[in-house]
Amino acid sequence: MQNYNVNIELSGDRFSVTYILSGEEDVARIIAKHICVEQTVEFPEELLPDGDIRRHIVGRIESFTALGHDKWKTEISFANETSGFELPQLLNNIFGNISLEPGIRVDNLSLSAKFLSCFRGPRFGREGIRTLVRVPHRPLLSTALKPMGLPPAELADLAYQFALGGIDIIKDDHGLANQPFSTWSERVHRCTEAVARANAQTGYSSIYMPNVTAPANVIEKFAYQAKSIGVGGLLIAPGLTGFDIVRQLASDANLRLPLMSHPAFLGSFVTDPFSGISHRVLFGQMMRLAGADATVYPNHGGRFSFTEDACRSIVEGATTPMGHIAPIFPTPGGGMTQERIPEMIKMYGREAIFLIGGGLFKGVGNITENSKRLLNVVTEACVNL
Amino acid sequence: MQNYNVNIELSGDRFSVTYILSGEEDVARIIAKHICVEQTVEFPEELLPDGDIRRHIVGRIESFTALGHDKWKTEISFANETSGFELPQLLNNIFGNISLEPGIRVDNLSLSAKFLSCFRGPRFGREGIRTLVRVPHRPLLSTALKPMGLPPAELADLAYQFALGGIDIIKDDHGLANQPFSTWSERVHRCTEAVARANAQTGYSSIYMPNVTAPANVIEKFAYQAKSIGVGGLLIAPGLTGFDIVRQLASDANLRLPLMSHPAFLGSFVTDPFSGISHRVLFGQMMRLAGADATVYPNHGGRFSFTEDACRSIVEGATTPMGHIAPIFPTPGGGMTQERIPEMIKMYGREAIFLIGGGLFKGVGNITENSKRLLNVVTEACVNL
């Protein structure tokens, strides 16, 4: 094979990935070269045919700089065509085989406007969701129906109480699937009806988002059923379903429902700070590229271990300019309470969805009263924003 | 809510997960309790309604033992019903939210025969694949078509040469998707034809497995197209597509093609030894439960960092008794060469697929000669097995 020349048509446009590498400089430089090969040709370099494969298909080190403490930052570019302009293969390019090696962390993605034009991204984005729930200015409020085990009628009653209290987005807890004690169809019918009934009383436009994290052959069917029942959006956990079904749902012109992504089963990508994928990329850029309109993650200081910096980087990934791809809502949750609101507003401003689950069950009042109080706190805290 | 009683029908059968926890004993005990709540009700325990939710839906600590060095092993059981008897929700039960916390590692799954009866598992298993390639005794040989960038005609020529040399399973490299320089459909047609042509000459029953790691709305279509073209199996990377599509393909009685799983994008689950999911569970039990018939992973001593122990544990997960679920083929690869064969046979015995990619391009002969030599080495080394 060494002796023949392969020429293929390539646009010359490339996407690039910034990786943080750990180790001494000579090792890190070897790893950078290794990424170029492993993420593309996976082939002994000396045996590659001459021509375009060697010149353009193998990844290219665009920069390599020291971060100190045996940490290095390298930007590696890949021909757009290696992705086939498809999300699963793009993820594979970025971190397929090298996910198997410790000491490599995906830090940032840089995709040209031209490349991004191959991806629809979120159909609604922040503005689309605001229009839907008719809340133009303040941060939105979301809560989760739980605990798992409650029958649909009880969950619907909770949904009704939350909606009466003015919670904008009432979603299934991500552990509500299609269990015998709460089947998907009955739950979605009842909760949708309950939220509509509350809206008729309050004049609000609260929406219900059922969980469609379901078997692969069921997700689309559930999404359409949910649409016909009259839900306001869908919750999905790409760690469990794959990222590409999010893209499929977001791209479907007949569906047109906002999508909220949940981080379940994705934590291992971020827990080791020197391996895996950065919070910014995973919960920001990737969710957005896939087409989520809101990205749920555990806020710092809650039940989970995300730092404040990690949360800020998610906001960055969810909102900084990215070609035609709309900014989406960071949706911090995971043990948040009403008491955290002033501080959350200080950190996130108005462009966020605050997800408060169990916290609304606590406190002095009933659920509707607690929800109303939360809404008041947020509304008042935003007057000066 | 505290004051009402929820009673739901549950079979009493429970599945259990063994977790390894890190930290001092009191912290580890708190984490164990936390897992019980977080992976089910996700709700302030003191506010749970009385009755079955508190008694049976919340996870239950079955054991908690010291491993030494601030490591602890705890077995936690969950009502089968919490999974909805569906794979995505089962994975969510096992490691959904707690994936977001370092210091928790899924070590083993224990599922009753009754629970397992809800899952088909692999359609072929080791024996089914052996029948297909007509190799009753020795380890099977597999290789990958690459490098990315070659046009379909060149890849088909490689497939032909490998098949002439007697390689049993010739698969797409996992980076071959549907790129403009090698479209999926043309590649699959040409490679299938090439392997059939070689079989007609040799009398062997080599099979070609194209990669169906594709957009969510395309995978099933590709699988059926591949079937009608005459392929012998399919390659898929569940880290990129989600695990459940593997189950869907394996369960499809009209498809009936063996499935080989690829580990791309899954490495972050295993790289930190004290967080994530064990090699045994991820590449053994989960792949098998999903329905893969062969599970690819990087062998120790190759281009990746898996230890020999990790590889042995994958074999364990892939083959130890698991209800009616058939044992599947461990498929070690990742930089293997002919020289490693005697040692690989010593470690794996005959019940494995040896995946040798780039290594077959090296050496003194051409690809067919190298493949023949490899087949001879394996056949001879197996005489005394």
Residue B304 is predicted with a pLDDT of: 80
Residue B335 is predicted with a pLDDT of: 85
Which chain A residue has the Cα nearest residue B56?
A149
Contact B174/A92, CB-based, under 8 Å? yes
User: Does the pLDDT of residue B69 top 50, yes or no?
Assistant: yes
How many CB pairs below 8 Å do chains A and B form together? 317
B22 near A CB under 8 A: no
Could you tell me which of B309, B367, B377 has the C-alpha nearest to residue B340? B377
User: Does the pLDDT of residue B289 top 50, yes or no?
Assistant: yes
Query: Which amino acid, residue B203?
Result: G
Question: How do A71-79 and A60-68 pair as beta strands?
Answer: antiparallel
C-alpha A218 chain-centroid distance: 21
Residue A2 is predicted with a pLDDT of: 45
How far apart (Å, rounded) are the C-alpha atoms in residues B253 and B242? 20
Question: In A, which residues are within 8 Å of B305 by CB distance?
Answer: 100-102
Give A8 or B168, the one with higher predicted confidence.
B168
Instruction: Grade residue A136 by pLDDT with cuts at 50, 70 and 90.
Output: very high
Q: Is the ipTM of this complex over 0.90?
A: yes
B378 near A CB under 8 A: no
Residue B64 is predicted with a pLDDT of: 98
Residue B110 is predicted with a pLDDT of: 98
| Nearest CB to A99 within list B95, B244, B266 | B266
Which chain A residue has the Cα nearest residue B266?
A99
Active-site residue among B34, B71, B146, B227?
B146
Instruction: Grade residue B336 by pLDDT with cuts at 50, 70 and 90.
Output: confident
Contact A148/B82, CB-based, under 8 Å? yes
User: Does the pLDDT of residue B189 top 50, yes or no?
Assistant: yes
Residue B2 is predicted with a pLDDT of: 45
Angle at CA A265, nearest 5°, toward A222 and A145? 55
A84 near B CB under 8 A: yes
Q: Within 13 Å, how many C-alpha atoms sit on residue B263's CB side? A: 29
User: Does the pLDDT of residue A382 top 90, yes or no?
Assistant: no
Residues A107-128 pLDDT 10s? 999 999 999 999 999 999 999 9
A337 near B CB under 8 A: no
Beta bridge partners of B277: B106
Residues B239-259 pLDDT 10s? 999 999 999 999 999 999 999
Instruction: Grade residue A4 by pLDDT with cuts at 50, 70 and 90.
Output: low
A267 near B CB under 8 A: yes
B364 near A CB under 8 A: no
Tokens of A24: 């001494």
Residues B161-180 pLDDT 10s? 999 999 999 999 999 999 99
User: Does the pLDDT of residue A208 top 90, yes or no?
Assistant: yes
Q: Mean per-residue pLDDT for A11-15?
A: 96
Interface test with B, best of A7, A10, A47, A89 (most B CBs within 10 A): A89
Contact A81/B237, CB-based, under 8 Å? no
User: Does the pLDDT of residue B363 top 90, yes or no?
Assistant: no
Residue A361 is predicted with a pLDDT of: 86
Contact B93/A150, CB-based, under 8 Å? no
Instruction: Grade residue A137 by pLDDT with cuts at 50, 70 and 90.
Output: very high
Residues A315-347 pLDDT 10s? 999 999 999 999 999 999 998 888 899 999 999
User: Residues 122..151 of A with a Cβ closer than 8 Å to B: which?
Assistant: 144, 146-151
Q: Which residue has the tokens 């692999």?
A: B122
How far apart (Å, rounded) are the C-alpha atoms in residues B323 and B332? 25
C-alpha A283 chain-centroid distance: 4
Minimum distance, in Å, between the CA of residue B244 and any CA atom of chain A: 6
Residue A7 is predicted with a pLDDT of: 80
Ramachandran category for residue B103: left, alpha or beta (phi over 0 → left; psi -120 to 50 → alpha): left
B42 near A CB under 8 A: yes
User: Does the pLDDT of residue A200 top 50, yes or no?
Assistant: yes
Q: Dihedrals φ, ψ of A331, to 5°?
A: -130, 80
Question: In B, which residues are within 8 Å of A270 by CB distance?
Answer: 100
A248 near B CB under 8 A: yes
Query: Which amino acid, residue B253?
Result: A
Which chain A residue has the Cα nearest residue B89?
A177
User: Does the pLDDT of residue B384 top 80, yes or no?
Assistant: no
Contact A6/B154, CB-based, under 8 Å? yes
Question: In A, which residues are within 8 Å of B88 by CB distance?
Answer: 177, 213-215, 237, 240-241
Instruction: Grade residue B98 by pLDDT with cuts at 50, 70 and 90.
Output: very high
Which chain A residue has the Cα nearest residue B155?
A1
Contact B179/A81, CB-based, under 8 Å? yes
